[in-house]
Amino acid sequence: VRIETICTGDELLTGLTVDTNSQFFQTRLLEVCGATVRRSTTVGDRREDIIEALVEAAARCDAVLVSGGLGPTADDLTAECAAVAAGVALVEHPAVLAHLRERFARRGVTLAENSRRQALVPAGAEVELNLEGSAPLIIQPQGRCTFFFVPGVPREYRHLVERHVVPRLATLLGHSTVRVLRVLKTTGTSESQLDALLAPLSSAHPRLTFGYRTHPPKNHLKLLAEGETREAALAALALAEQAVRQVVGQAIFGADDDTLASVTLQALRARRQRLALAESCTGGLIAAQLTEVAGASDVLWGGAVTYVEAAKTKWAQVPTALLSAFGAVSRACAEAMATGIRAEAGVDWGLSVTGFAGPTGGTAADPVGTVYLGVAGPGGTQVERLHLHGDRERVRRFAAHAALDLLRRTVEGAAP
């Protein structure tokens, strides 16, 4: 079964936009159907080029996903070209027209003449209504090839691809099984370590496929379960997840939509505990990540970006004598910052980071990339020393991640 994609749009050929829709489709096609795209073609908003690409693909393929060019304006040519390529007329589809009328009515406006164009589909095509927008998914057979036309707007594209295109391709490919996916997010364990831990599990879980994707400094572990029914697939998934959690343990920080920040906030919230930060080289990155999560204020008291020594003394209660004796990038300073910020804010936990992010700075003993993390909590204070590689951006990002993860593990490990 040969599957291809065609993307249309001048903006994809002039450097204005990078197509990220295709990555979504490719990933889901691989995950759900175990199949890959053979070729991907991009053409501009030009009638002859779109028709040429459609005709060529129809001769080669069993299924083609075509995106873009279904909007209401004059440069939206895809439906028209699809009709020409198939040698059929464009006809107004009553259900799509009703859907458009209803969408416009909901906003209190009448359907404009140009928007009505979005109800035009090649004669003989099937449609699925777009619950996230106007233009429908158009499913059009051309000989042995089935074309799927979807809007290019990412939200609409994803909705229609996930809900209709991928399931239909799964059927076309002969998959009668249902697949469900769960992503477990891990940190501090390499892909090869994960693989070694999980390899012994596969024989006991025949309905599971284990996959990995690296998002440094995180590794995502994908559990794809299949079954005759959704319930059977979910049951297989639950069993496998339990086994995986047993062997991988605390390196798993969350699943699916979790972030390290959301999970850490949730662990603290569940214990009714609060947090304050003292950041030096990460310069606000940890605070920014935590406050990205709505509702962080019930956990996060605040954060001090103590960029100069005077700020460390004033806000994180670091004694001047300690700074003179050990320097700002030191185990002693990280410890003092964590305990100091905890006392300053009067909260349960203090988290600190101090280090050399580069490109200049550092000493022979503590070169660029050296970062000290401090966590002060009800059970005492601990410090970790990291040596990170890479440029300033990478050192800061990895340091912020490692600090949050150290806090998470410490909180989760502490008595509830």
> Residues in the site for a copy of itself, rule: CB under 8 A?
10, 12-16, 18-20, 23-27, 30, 36-44, 49, 53, 213, 277, 279, 281-288, 290-292, 294-297, 300-308, 310-311, 314-315, 344-345, 357-360, 392-393, 396
What is the full DSSP assignment across 183-246? EEEEESS-HHHHHHHHGGGGGG-TTEEEEEEEETTEEEEEEEEEESSHHHHHHHHHHHHHHHHH
Q: How far is the CB of 133 from a copy of itself (least distance, A)?
A: 18
Q: Select 345 or 373, whichever has its Cβ closest to a copy of itself.
A: 345
Q: Select 121 or 356, whichever has its Cβ closest to a copy of itself.
A: 356
Q: How far is the CB of 14 from a copy of itself (least distance, A)?
A: 5
Q: Select 126 or 256, whichever has its Cβ closest to a copy of itself.
A: 256
The type of residue at 217 is P
Length of the chain: 416
Q: Select 188 or 283, whichever has its Cβ closest to a copy of itself.
A: 283
Angle ∠(166,170,174) on CA atoms, nearest 5: 165
Q: How far is the CB of 43 from a copy of itself (least distance, A)?
A: 5
Q: Select 126 or 393, whichever has its Cβ closest to a copy of itself.
A: 393
CA distance 5 to 85: 16
Check residue 249 and report its DSSP letter.
Answer: G
Q: How far is the CB of 206 from a copy of itself (least distance, A)?
A: 24
Q: Select 284 or 390, whichever has its Cβ closest to a copy of itself.
A: 284
CA distance 338 to 374: 5
Q: How far is the CB of 381 from a copy of itself (least distance, A)?
A: 21
Q: Select 295 or 379, whichever has its Cβ closest to a copy of itself.
A: 295
Cα distances (angstroms) measured from residue 220 to each of 32, 189, 291, 381: 17, 10, 23, 30
Residues 6 or more apart in contact with residue 320 via CB below 8 angstroms: 309, 313
Is 87 within 8 Å of 40 (Cβ atoms)? no
Query: To the nearest 10°, the Cα dihedral for 100, 105, 109, 115?
Result: 0
Q: How far is the CB of 117 from a copy of itself (least distance, A)?
A: 25
Q: How far is the CB of 33 from a copy of itself (least distance, A)?
A: 12
